[in-house]
Amino acid sequence: MRHVVDTAGSIWLFGYGSLIWLQGFPYREARRAYIRGWERRFWQGSHDHRGVQDDPGRVVTLIEADDAHCHGRAFLVDANVFEQLDQREINGYRREQVEIHFDEDRAMGITYLAPIENFAFLGDAPVDEMVEQINRCSGRSGRNADYVLELARALRALDASDPRVFELESRIIGARNGCKA
Protein backbone atom coordinates (compact mmCIF):
# COMPACT_ATOMS: atom_id res chain seq x y z
CA MET A 1 0.00 0.00 0.00
CA ARG A 2 1.28 3.43 -0.90
CA HIS A 3 1.32 6.29 1.55
CA VAL A 4 0.90 10.04 1.70
CA VAL A 5 4.27 11.79 1.71
CA ASP A 6 4.91 14.77 3.91
CA THR A 7 7.06 17.62 2.66
CA ALA A 8 9.35 20.13 4.33
CA GLY A 9 11.70 22.79 2.97
CA SER A 10 12.28 22.82 -0.80
CA ILE A 11 11.45 19.72 -2.80
CA TRP A 12 11.13 18.63 -6.41
CA LEU A 13 7.58 18.17 -7.71
CA PHE A 14 7.10 16.00 -10.81
CA GLY A 15 4.27 17.00 -13.15
CA TYR A 16 3.05 14.67 -15.89
CA GLY A 17 -0.39 16.14 -16.71
CA SER A 18 -1.70 19.68 -16.46
CA LEU A 19 1.13 20.68 -14.12
CA ILE A 20 3.41 20.61 -17.18
CA TRP A 21 1.71 23.60 -18.82
CA LEU A 22 -0.50 25.12 -16.10
CA GLN A 23 1.36 25.57 -12.87
CA GLY A 24 -0.50 28.28 -10.96
CA PHE A 25 2.11 28.08 -8.17
CA PRO A 26 5.52 29.66 -7.60
CA TYR A 27 8.63 27.62 -8.24
CA ARG A 28 12.37 28.20 -8.08
CA GLU A 29 13.35 26.09 -11.07
CA ALA A 30 11.70 23.96 -13.76
CA ARG A 31 13.43 21.15 -15.63
CA ARG A 32 12.55 18.48 -18.17
CA ALA A 33 12.46 15.20 -16.27
CA TYR A 34 11.15 11.65 -16.20
CA ILE A 35 10.33 8.91 -13.73
CA ARG A 36 10.91 5.20 -14.21
CA GLY A 37 8.42 2.41 -13.61
CA TRP A 38 5.30 4.45 -14.37
CA GLU A 39 3.06 5.08 -17.40
CA ARG A 40 0.72 8.02 -17.97
CA ARG A 41 -2.85 6.83 -18.57
CA PHE A 42 -6.21 8.58 -19.02
CA TRP A 43 -7.81 6.39 -16.38
CA GLN A 44 -8.76 8.96 -13.74
CA GLY A 45 -12.17 10.63 -13.63
CA SER A 46 -12.39 14.39 -13.25
CA HIS A 47 -15.61 15.40 -11.50
CA ASP A 48 -14.34 18.91 -10.94
CA HIS A 49 -11.83 20.37 -13.41
CA ARG A 50 -12.65 18.61 -16.71
CA GLY A 51 -16.10 17.15 -16.05
CA VAL A 52 -18.95 17.20 -13.55
CA GLN A 53 -20.25 14.80 -10.94
CA ASP A 54 -22.68 13.03 -13.28
CA ASP A 55 -20.38 13.13 -16.31
CA PRO A 56 -16.70 13.02 -15.33
CA GLY A 57 -14.00 13.84 -17.80
CA ARG A 58 -10.81 11.78 -18.19
CA VAL A 59 -7.46 13.01 -16.96
CA VAL A 60 -4.14 11.29 -16.43
CA THR A 61 -2.79 9.29 -13.57
CA LEU A 62 0.21 7.01 -13.26
CA ILE A 63 0.07 3.24 -13.55
CA GLU A 64 3.02 1.10 -12.50
CA ALA A 65 4.82 -0.63 -15.38
CA ASP A 66 8.24 -2.19 -14.92
CA ASP A 67 10.06 -1.00 -18.04
CA ALA A 68 8.21 2.29 -18.53
CA HIS A 69 9.35 5.91 -18.42
CA CYS A 70 7.01 8.86 -18.00
CA HIS A 71 8.33 12.22 -19.18
CA GLY A 72 7.19 15.53 -17.75
CA ARG A 73 8.50 18.57 -15.90
CA ALA A 74 9.94 18.83 -12.44
CA PHE A 75 9.62 21.99 -10.37
CA LEU A 76 11.69 22.91 -7.36
CA VAL A 77 9.10 24.29 -4.94
CA ASP A 78 8.84 25.42 -1.34
CA ALA A 79 6.85 23.17 0.97
CA ASN A 80 4.01 25.68 1.37
CA VAL A 81 3.04 25.09 -2.30
CA PHE A 82 1.64 21.69 -1.32
CA GLU A 83 -1.25 23.29 0.60
CA GLN A 84 -2.47 24.81 -2.68
CA LEU A 85 -1.71 21.67 -4.70
CA ASP A 86 -3.53 19.43 -2.24
CA GLN A 87 -6.67 21.46 -3.01
CA ARG A 88 -6.07 21.32 -6.77
CA GLU A 89 -5.40 17.56 -6.77
CA ILE A 90 -8.28 16.69 -4.44
CA ASN A 91 -10.30 14.44 -6.79
CA GLY A 92 -8.72 11.09 -5.84
CA TYR A 93 -5.04 12.06 -5.98
CA ARG A 94 -2.44 11.67 -3.26
CA ARG A 95 1.22 12.47 -2.86
CA GLU A 96 3.75 9.81 -3.74
CA GLN A 97 7.51 9.89 -3.34
CA VAL A 98 9.37 9.20 -6.60
CA GLU A 99 12.90 9.30 -7.94
CA ILE A 100 13.03 12.03 -10.58
CA HIS A 101 15.58 11.72 -13.37
CA PHE A 102 17.07 14.72 -15.17
CA ASP A 103 19.49 14.76 -18.09
CA GLU A 104 22.57 14.30 -15.92
CA ASP A 105 21.38 13.70 -12.38
CA ARG A 106 18.43 12.65 -10.25
CA ALA A 107 16.64 13.59 -7.05
CA MET A 108 13.91 12.33 -4.79
CA GLY A 109 10.68 14.26 -5.08
CA ILE A 110 6.91 14.17 -4.98
CA THR A 111 4.25 13.53 -7.58
CA TYR A 112 0.50 13.26 -7.33
CA LEU A 113 -1.10 10.04 -8.50
CA ALA A 114 -4.60 8.65 -8.34
CA PRO A 115 -4.44 5.04 -7.12
CA ILE A 116 -6.80 2.46 -8.58
CA GLU A 117 -8.76 2.21 -5.35
CA ASN A 118 -9.74 5.91 -5.34
CA PHE A 119 -13.40 6.88 -5.77
CA ALA A 120 -12.88 8.59 -9.14
CA PHE A 121 -10.79 5.90 -10.85
CA LEU A 122 -12.32 4.98 -14.23
CA GLY A 123 -9.76 2.52 -15.53
CA ASP A 124 -9.16 1.56 -19.11
CA ALA A 125 -11.72 1.81 -21.90
CA PRO A 126 -11.68 1.42 -25.68
CA VAL A 127 -10.13 4.43 -27.39
CA ASP A 128 -13.41 5.27 -29.20
CA GLU A 129 -15.23 5.47 -25.86
CA MET A 130 -12.48 7.61 -24.32
CA VAL A 131 -12.56 10.02 -27.26
CA GLU A 132 -16.36 10.33 -27.09
CA GLN A 133 -16.23 10.97 -23.33
CA ILE A 134 -13.36 13.46 -23.59
CA ASN A 135 -15.06 15.37 -26.42
CA ARG A 136 -18.34 15.52 -24.48
CA CYS A 137 -17.07 16.56 -21.04
CA SER A 138 -16.33 19.96 -19.60
CA GLY A 139 -15.77 21.29 -16.08
CA ARG A 140 -14.75 24.42 -14.20
CA SER A 141 -11.27 24.36 -15.77
CA GLY A 142 -12.60 23.97 -19.30
CA ARG A 143 -13.18 21.34 -21.95
CA ASN A 144 -11.73 17.90 -21.40
CA ALA A 145 -10.56 17.82 -25.04
CA ASP A 146 -8.49 20.95 -24.44
CA TYR A 147 -6.71 19.14 -21.59
CA VAL A 148 -5.61 16.40 -24.01
CA LEU A 149 -4.57 18.88 -26.70
CA GLU A 150 -2.58 21.01 -24.24
CA LEU A 151 -0.86 17.94 -22.82
CA ALA A 152 0.16 16.80 -26.30
CA ARG A 153 1.46 20.29 -27.14
CA ALA A 154 3.40 20.49 -23.86
CA LEU A 155 4.98 17.06 -24.38
CA ARG A 156 6.14 18.07 -27.85
CA ALA A 157 7.62 21.27 -26.41
CA LEU A 158 9.61 19.05 -24.02
CA ASP A 159 10.63 16.81 -26.93
CA ALA A 160 8.91 13.94 -25.11
CA SER A 161 6.89 11.19 -26.72
CA ASP A 162 3.76 9.49 -25.42
CA PRO A 163 1.96 7.46 -28.09
CA ARG A 164 -1.25 7.18 -26.02
CA VAL A 165 -1.54 10.94 -25.61
CA PHE A 166 -0.74 11.55 -29.27
CA GLU A 167 -3.28 8.95 -30.42
CA LEU A 168 -6.03 10.58 -28.34
CA GLU A 169 -4.99 13.98 -29.67
CA SER A 170 -5.21 12.74 -33.28
CA ARG A 171 -8.60 11.12 -32.72
CA ILE A 172 -9.99 14.23 -31.00
CA ILE A 173 -8.84 16.46 -33.85
CA GLY A 174 -10.25 13.95 -36.35
CA ALA A 175 -13.61 13.96 -34.59
CA ARG A 176 -13.67 17.78 -34.69
CA ASN A 177 -13.04 17.61 -38.43
CA GLY A 178 -15.89 15.16 -39.00
CA CYS A 179 -13.84 11.98 -39.13
CA LYS A 180 -14.81 8.88 -37.16
CA ALA A 181 -13.59 9.17 -33.55
> 60, 46 in Cβ contact below 8 A?
no
Cβ neighbours for 96, distance < 8 A, ≥ 6 positions apart: 2, 5, 62, 110, 111, 112, 113
Catalytic annotation present for 39: no
Q: How many CB atoms lie within 10 A of CB 87?
A: 8
The single residue of 89, 117, 129, 132 carrying the catalytic annotation is: 89
CA dihedral 158, 36, 30, 83 (to 10 degrees): 130
What residues pair up with 113 in beta bridges, in sequence order?
A: 94
Catalytic residue ranges: 89
